[in-house]
Structure 1
Amino acid sequence: MGFFTVLFCLLVGAVSLGYYFIKQRLSYWKRRGIPHDEPVFPAGNLQDHPKKKHMREISSEHYHKYKGTGPFGGFFFFLSPAVMLYDLDLIRDVLIKDFNNFTDRGMFHNEKDDPLTANLLGLDGAKWRQLRNKLSPTFTSGRMKFMFPTVVSVGERLLEKFELMAEQDSILEMKDILVRFTVDVIGTCAFGLECNSLNDPNAEFRRMGANASTLKRHSKMVNGFIFSFPQLARQLRMRQIHDDIHEFFIRVVRETVEYRKKNSIKRNDFMNLLIELRNEDGGLTIEQIAAQTFMFFLAGFETSSTTMGFTLFELALNQDIQDKLRDEINTCIEKHNGEFTYECMTEMTYMEKVVKESLRKYPLVTNLVRRAIDDYPTSNPKYTIPKGTMVLIPADAIHHDPEIYPDPEKYDPERFSPEETQSRHPLAWLPFGDGPRHCIGLRFGKMQTYIGLVTLLRNYRFYYCDKTPNPLVMNKKHTLLCSEGGIYLRVERIN
């Protein structure tokens, strides 16, 4: 038998094995009799993402199509079989009651070759628990109260910039100015640095924040491989973060740590806590500190600015809600002798309803992800979640389920009155997840969102105009939920 004949036979054998493997993977739910949409190689059920549909649309269609057929349905993330949960009691068990079997997200992280991925969002198991316990003291209400004046001072700079812009044009684009506000807040609180993006939209932190969300290292197919086989990708020493992003954050953190050490600088901020952890026995490395600040920066600036943008959009369309919220803001501040204090902020109950309704209608993370550590049986033996399977919780679809929230497209903060909240399942609102792995920065995000909204609504009215997109069109390519293009509103100074 000649060399080329042997080579041909080996090639045919390899192709046959590959074909068999793919066919077995993509027939996984069919063989188990679990309802699902037919997957397409190589994207699974993501063939329309991101060119035609955002992930929220794909999961919403799946949820409404198969809800009621069982506690979950089958789904394919590229070549990886996954389950999408429909039953709120099962979601509660996964996130809270039986959390120990679902501690992991199963996301790609590579501490050695791609250190920024080894952050609290990406880590699993014992490493995640250890880091979560160390970082939790940063986000207590006491720490938020201490940071409150710092965020308010950035809010004052936001108002100064806003006034200059409003003098030049009564129609303003809200997304950009709000992102610049939150970049400056996070830069100050996480790095102790003046990012100056309110004055300079091309400031380095602003550019790097935008690039970190959009600059991809790999093609969709390679990213799909990393997502489907994170352990194999790690063994192959693959990386996900773009070199420019990696080098910027490592450099900024190294310079900040060295400067603070040299000048004996201590601040009650996120960076200071990480430096203290570095000084402990077996403490954090520079790369580990960079990974956590990278996570805090990305998770903090974009989520809060987008929530504020969606809220102002809805308030412009619902003037009665805007007036009621402004009345509460003014009443609370008058009660505190004209000063906007931390205690004043915590008394704004209608503000809480408004922001909660914004996060219901526009949850930034449209699907929560967990991974089963062991086989997980449900009340129906057919519906066992197999070991290692990715679990998707469609938060956006739940938030728009008319059986849970009647007339779900209507913007109504009274959905979050004590009576309405009490009447719903406790897992029917999931913008921050729930259970031990819920969003650690919840308090901080809430604080900077409230401060931004109070600062603007005390001084300006917001109106719909000809340039206001209605309805909003969502960016299909972005991981988080955000609008395509700007949110233009007409603004009017309050004397």
Structure 2
Amino acid sequence: MLFIIYLVIAIATLLAYLLYRNTTYWRNRGIPQEPPHPFFGNLIGFRKTRTVHRILEDYYNKFRDTNHPFVGFHFLHRKCAFVLDMKLAKNVLIKDFSNFADRGQFHNVRDDPLTGNIFNLDGKRWKEMRQRLSPTFTSGKMKFMFPIVIKVSEEFVKVMFEEVPAKSEGSIIEIKDLMARFTTDVIGTCAFGIECNTLRTPESDFRKMGSKVFTDLRHGVLLTALTFSFPNLAAKLRMRMMPQDVHEFFMGLVNETIAYREKEKIKRNDFMEMLIEMKQRGSYTLESGEVVEGLNIGELAAQVFVFYLAGFETSSSTMSYCLYELAQHTDIQDKVREEINNVLEQHDGKITYESIKAMHYLDQVISETLRLYTIVPHIERKALHDYVVPGHPNLVIESGTQIIIPAAAYHRNEKFYPDPEKFDPERFSADEVAARDSVEFLAFGDGPRNCIGMRFGQMQTRVGMAQLIKNFKFSVCEKTDIPLTYNPESFVMGTIGGIYLRAERV
């Protein structure tokens, strides 16, 4: 009995020492840091009262004028270098990318296959996956998928016309829900080849399962914190992060889709078809002699899953926030509508791949929306080797340290964007963009590990916005929340409740 007591005391003492050493890591190196909470680190209020966006922006504003290239930060128990200096951010993302190629995110491809997607993968497997998927997102492949997006957008307009009667003062529309239904149908068709028809039947499992990924936890707070804080250990312990019902739904859907297509010899110009071709090709050898392994069913499912998630959530949120701002700035809305009509006149009145690319002011409006409402608040990387910060020979980011680049906070820095709370699409005119360093706008990341699906996301957002602005006028109403209230439980920027606007036919 006495031995057990001593053992418990010894373990408790060791844990206390490790916790102390971890939380004093940056202080012992002379790096500024707000004292971390023993459990939450510097994420006080996370999933309770504060969004990740607010936490990171407040932290950035506290230290940004201290002349330090980075400061210390604890993401729960994980020690991170929180980047303040734009030159250091550019080195991490681009110049010295080879030392920061990994994201350091949890993934367990054996037991939790959906986590083994291109966003989470690291090392050689990420490099191989990126090389294999990159041709899928070229302009040529986007043109192949474009008719699918147009077909869904036309149904979208029909649903809107039903919601907004002719010869009336318009209708109050909850646009967040509507935008999510549109992007779910687009991505469901392009990624899985399934006509979800969420526009007509909003309560689909497809949409419900996609939404749960951003808010629901598989485990309680303690085990989830362990997974975030020690991703490698969690993977070795064969822990899983994906909610079980989400895992079963998407794995089952992918298996059924592949089996059906292979049996019926169905070919489609969509993302699923390209992945099936990779799976069927199997392993192959490069000219260098390096063997590239083929995709197994779990890896295939993971890629189509993350393509669905990224396209569904980011694009629908961007469209919602864009309409929210245009409803408050009707002069900008009128200017966008005028451009859309002028461009379509030059393309026989049709929305084509080329006509969408020619809508430059619409693109500026979408970019300004992404600046003001950056959906994913930060970019993460991991140091693969010790890194001496250029210009600061005494500052070393040790191997294994996580890097946090607070993109959303950069986007609201008045040094880069004067009067940052103002919605001003002129910030993204050709001249303004040319004069700005690329890392000052990180809505899609930057460098070799930027968002691989950027072209697709831009395409479906432009098509959806062009269809809406061409046919409808949007304005605020008595149910419009100004300002919006954001959901602290969401890992991306999401609101509590809907976004209500008045819509009228043009």
Task: Give 1:15's match in structure 2, choosing from 2, 12, 26.
Answer: 12
Return the offset for 1:77: 1.0
Return the offset for 1:432: 0.6
Return the offset for 1:426: 2.1
Are residue 52 (structure 1) and residue 49 (structure 2) matched? yes
**Equivalence map 1:418-457=2 (5 Å):** 418-457=430-469
Return the offset for 1:215: 2.4
Return the offset for 1:52: 1.5
Give the Cα separation in 2 of the matches to 1:43 and 1:371.
Answer: 20
Aligned length: 491
Give the Cα separation in 1 of the matches to 2:79 and 2:445.
Answer: 22
Give the Cα separation in 1 of the matches to 2:430 and 2:274.
Answer: 36
**Equivalence map 1:320-359=2 (5 Å):** 320-359=331-370
Moved more, 150-159 or 419-428: 419-428
Aligned amino acid, residue 129 of structure 1 = K
Secondary structure class of the residue paired with 1:76:
strand
Give runs of ≥4 in structure 1 deviating > 4 Å: none
Q: In structure 2, what is the equivalent of residue 116 of structure 1?
A: 114
Q: In structure 1, what is the equivalent of residue 217 of structure 2?
A: 216
**Equivalence map 1:19-34=2 (5 Å):** 19-34=16-31
Tell me the alpha carbon deviations over residues 144-178 of structure 1, each in whole angstroms, 9 at most, x when there is no partner.
11211110110011111111122397100000011
Task: Give 1:99's match in structure 2, choosing from 91, 97, 100.
Answer: 97
Give the Cα separation in 1 of the matches to 2:453 and 2:428.
Answer: 21
Q: In structure 2, what is the equivalent of residue 388 of structure 1?
A: 400
Q: In structure 2, what is the equivalent of residue 197 of structure 1?
A: 198
Q: In structure 2, what is the equivalent of residue 61 of structure 1?
A: 58
Task: Give 1:127's match in structure 2, choosing from 105, 122, 125.
Answer: 125
Q: In structure 2, what is the equivalent of residue 297 of structure 1?
A: 308
- 1:115–1:291 Cα contact (<8 Å) kept: yes
Q: In structure 2, what is the equivalent of residue 287 of structure 1?
A: 298
Task: Give 1:156's match in structure 2, choosing from 143, 154, 157.
Answer: 154
Moved more, 210-219 or 453-462: 210-219
- 2:318–2:370 Cα contact (<8 Å) kept: yes
Give the Cα separation in 2 of the matches to 1:272 and 1:227.
Answer: 33
Tell me the alpha carbon deviations over residues 346-386 of structure 1, each in whole angstroms, 9 at most, x when there is no partner.
11110111011000101111111001001111121332111
Aligned amino acid, residue 51 of structure 1 = K
Are residue 462 (structure 1) and residue 496 (structure 2) matched? no
Secondary structure class of the residue paired with 1:73:
strand
Task: Give the TM-score taking structure 2 as reference length.
Answer: 0.96
- 1:71–1:383 Cα contact (<8 Å) kept: no
Secondary structure class of the residue paired with 2:6:
helix
Return the offset for 1:196: 1.1
- 2:72–2:80 Cα contact (<8 Å) kept: yes
Q: In structure 1, what is the equivalent of residue 291 of structure 2?
A: none
Aligned amino acid, residue 446 of structure 1 = Q
Q: In structure 2, what is the equivalent of residue 360 of structure 1?
A: 371
Give the Cα separation in 2 of the matches to 1:458 and 1:267.
Answer: 30
Give the Cα separation in 1 of the matches to 2:220 and 2:379.
Answer: 23
Q: In structure 2, what is the equivalent of residue 405 of structure 1?
A: 417
Return the offset for 1:27: 0.4
Give the Cα separation in 1 of the matches to 2:2 and 2:230.
Answer: 33
Tell me the alpha carbon deviations over residues 295-318 of structure 1, each in whole angstroms, 9 at most, x when there is no partner.
011111010000000000000000
Give the Cα separation in 2 of the matches to 1:109 and 1:46.
Answer: 22
Aligned amino acid, residue 62 of structure 1 = Y
Secondary structure class of the residue paired with 1:427:
helix
Return the offset for 1:9: 1.1
Return the offset for 1:398: 0.4
Q: In structure 1, what is the equivalent of residue 290 of structure 2?
A: none
Q: In structure 1, what is the equivalent of residue 184 of structure 2?
A: 183
Return the offset for 1:433: 0.4
Secondary structure class of the residue paired with 1:74:
strand
Aligned amino acid, residue 150 of structure 1 = I
Give the Cα separation in 1 of the matches to 2:438 and 2:20.
Answer: 40
Secondary structure class of the residue paired with 1:266:
coil
Give the Cα separation in 2 of the matches to 1:493 and 1:281.
Answer: 52
- 2:176–2:320 Cα contact (<8 Å) kept: yes
Return the offset for 1:419: 2.0
Give the Cα separation in 1 of the matches to 2:435 and 2:216.
Answer: 43
Give the Cα separation in 2 of the matches to 1:329 and 1:423.
Answer: 26
- 2:214–2:492 Cα contact (<8 Å) kept: no
- 2:217–2:224 Cα contact (<8 Å) kept: no
Give the Cα separation in 1 of the matches to 2:282 and 2:481.
Answer: 54
Secondary structure class of the residue paired with 2:404:
strand
- 1:72–1:383 Cα contact (<8 Å) kept: no
Q: In structure 2, what is the equivalent of residue 275 of structure 1?
A: 276
Are residue 229 (structure 1) and residue 227 (structure 2) matched? no
User: RMSD of the alignment, in Å?
Assistant: 1.1
Task: Give 2:145's match in structure 1, choosing from 147, 170, 191.
Answer: 147
Tell me the alpha carbon deviations over residues 117-147 of structure 1, each in whole angstroms, 9 at most, x when there is no partner.
0000110000000011111111101111121
Return the offset for 1:342: 0.7
Structure 1 residue runs without a partner (length 5+): none
Q: In structure 1, what is the equivalent of residue 324 of structure 2?
A: 313
Identity %: 47
Give the Cα separation in 2 of the matches to 1:181 and 1:114.
Answer: 29
Give the Cα separation in 1 of the matches to 2:434 and 2:238.
Answer: 49
